[in-house]
A = this chain, B = another copy of it.
Amino acid sequence: MDTQNLSGLDLPEKEHKILEAAIKVFSEKGFSAATTSEIAKNAGIAEGTIFRYFKTKKDILRGILVHTINIISGKLVLSSIEKILAASDGKDVRTILKEVLYDRLKLVDSVFPMARVILTESLFHDDVREAIYQNIISPAVEMFKVFLAKAIERGMIRDDIDPEIVLRSIMGNAAVFIAQRKLFSDKFLMEDMDKELDKLIDVIMYGIAVKNPDYIKSDKDLT
């Protein structure tokens, strides 16, 4: 087991070390401000060696991108969510949603440093953005839609709003949850995770309004 979770996909050891070092330096300084000499120093190799494995600095970024996509869309990862969905009969949405969210959060934890790098750089590099969209976002959205369709079909989730809205709400809540844990992390401990997740799901499921207020006048269809 190594610190940056680059393991598994049989890369040459040196290439592996370069990617690890690059993830560290890129996430601290950003792609442009990072220097190949600092990456080399962090990887414990000579600067010239970098260019045996990657033609250009930009190529290192692409290496990180490809590697991240491989991890996220790899069989191991995909199958775990499919397993959850397959075994979902009889459980309520709350339980399933918790299992799915927990699974995804663990994944985010494990790839966070590299995901952060490629997401940040996607703001400035069209090719990176496009690759992320095609290989991560789009499939993830599709997968979630399948899950939602099932849940709606079984009457577990409202059918009077667009699935996109449901998706957006789950995504939004999860995103802020992650951002808070990762960017202002000092305060948040792993032990609280379970309780925190319960609260998160509760608010996603039932919203912030009081449960049975008298002053809600109409339930007009908003679709």
Contact = CB atoms under 8 A, between A and B. Distances in A.
A33 interface: yes
Interface string A166-180: 101111111111001
Nearest to A215: B92
Copies per assembly: 2
A93 interface: yes
Given A30-B30, A165-B203, A93 B209 contact: yes
Nearest to A148: B208
A166 B33 contact: no
A104 B166 CA distance: 22
A84 interface: no
Contacts of A172: 169, 172-177
A33 B124 contact: yes
Interface of A: 28-33, 92-93, 120, 123-124, 155-159, 161-162, 165-166, 168-177, 180, 198-200, 202-211, 213, 215-216, 219, 222
